[in-house]
Amino acid sequence: MSAALACAACGRRFPVGSPLVQCPCSGLLEVVQKPRRGAGALRAAFDRRRVSDRVGQGSGVWRFRELLLPGGGPIVTHPEGDTALYRRAALARFAGVEDLAVKHEGENPTGSFKDRGMTVAVTHAVRSGARAVACASTGNTSASMAAYAAQAGLPALVFVPAGKVAAGKLAQALAYGARTLLVRGDFDACLRLAREAAHAFGITLLNSVNPWRIEGQKTIVLEMLQQRGWDPPDWIVVPAGNLGNTAAFGKALREARDLGLIRRVPRLASIQAAGAAPFYRSFRVGFRRRFRVAADTVATAIRIGDPASYDRAVASIRETDGVVAAVTDREILEAKAAVDAAGIGCEPASAAAVAGARQLRRRGLIRRGQSVVAVLTGHLLKDPQTVMDFHLGRRRGANAPIEIAPTLAAVARVLKG
Q: Which is nearer to ligand F0G, 37 or 318 (CB)?
A: 318
CB of 197 to ligand F0G, least distance (A): 16
Q: Which is nearer to ligand F0G, 60 or 70 (CB)?
A: 60
Q: Which of residues 226-255 bind ligand F0G (CB under 6 A)?
A: 239-246
Q: Applying CB under 6 A, does 350 fall inside the site for ligand F0G?
A: yes
Distance CA 137, CA 157 (A): 11
Q: Which is nearer to ligand F0G, 42 or 332 (CB)?
A: 332
Binding residue count for ligand F0G, defined by CB under 6 A:
23
How big is the chain by its Cα radius of gyration, in Å? 21
Whether 216 and 112 have beta carbons less than 8 Å apart is answered as: no
Distance CA 51, CA 297 (A): 41
Query: 3-class SS at 375?
Result: strand
Site string for ligand F0G, 208-227 (x = CB under 6 A): x-------------------
CB of 95 to ligand F0G, least distance (A): 18
Distance CA 373, CA 232 (A): 9
Whether 323 and 365 have beta carbons less than 8 Å apart is answered as: yes
Q: Which is nearer to ligand F0G, 220 or 338 (CB)?
A: 220
Q: Which is nearer to ligand F0G, 22 or 137 (CB)?
A: 137
CB of 7 to ligand F0G, least distance (A): 20
Distance CA 159, CA 139 (A): 9
Q: Which is nearer to ligand F0G, 70 or 378 (CB)?
A: 378
* CA-closest candidate to residue 256, choices 236, 240, 237, 272: 236
Q: Applying CB under 6 A, does 172 fall inside the site for ligand F0G?
A: no
Q: Applying CB under 6 A, does 347 fall inside the site for ligand F0G?
A: yes
Distance CA 374, CA 87 (A): 11
Q: Which is nearer to ligand F0G, 140 or 320 (CB)?
A: 140
Distance CA 398, CA 359 (A): 22
3-state SS, one letter per residue, for 35-92: CCCCHHHHHHHHHHHHHCCCCCCCCCCHHHHHHCCCCCCCCCCCCCCCCCEECCHHHH
Q: Which of residues 76-115 bind ligand F0G (CB under 6 A)?
A: 112, 114
Which of 23, 170, 317, 349 is the binder for ligand F0G (CB under 6 A)? Answer: 349
Q: Applying CB under 6 A, does 302 fall inside the site for ligand F0G?
A: yes
CB of 166 to ligand F0G, least distance (A): 9
Q: Which is nearer to ligand F0G, 42 or 277 (CB)?
A: 277
CB of 69 to ligand F0G, least distance (A): 19
Distance CA 417, CA 415 (A): 6
- What's the distance, Cα to Cα, between the start and end of the chain in Å? 68
Q: Which is nearer to ligand F0G, 209 or 262 (CB)?
A: 209
Q: Applying CB under 6 A, does 137 fall inside the site for ligand F0G?
A: yes
Which of 58, 211, 305, 378 is the binder for ligand F0G (CB under 6 A)? Answer: 378
- Binding segment toward ligand F0G, per CB under 6 A, in 91-99, 195-203, 261-269, 344-352: 344-352
Helices vs strands, H then E, count in the chain? 14, 13
Q: Applying CB under 6 A, does 141 fall inside the site for ligand F0G?
A: yes
Q: Applying CB under 6 A, does 301 fall inside the site for ligand F0G?
A: yes
Q: Which residues contact 378 (CB under 8 A, 6 or more apart)?
A: 105, 106, 111, 112, 113, 140, 301, 346, 347, 349, 350
Q: Order of strands, edge to edge, in the sheet holding 235-239?
A: 85-86, 99-104, 371-376, 235-239, 267-273, 323-327
Q: Applying CB under 6 A, does 138 fall inside the site for ligand F0G?
A: yes
- Binding segment toward ligand F0G, per CB under 6 A, in 24-32, 74-82, 321-329, 342-350: 342-350
List C-alpha distances in Å: 340 to 96, 297, 397, 405: 17, 19, 11, 28
Q: Which is nearer to ligand F0G, 207 or 371 (CB)?
A: 207
What is the contact surface with ligand F0G in residues (CB under 6 A)? Answer: 112, 114, 137-141, 208, 239-246, 301-302, 347, 349-350, 377-378
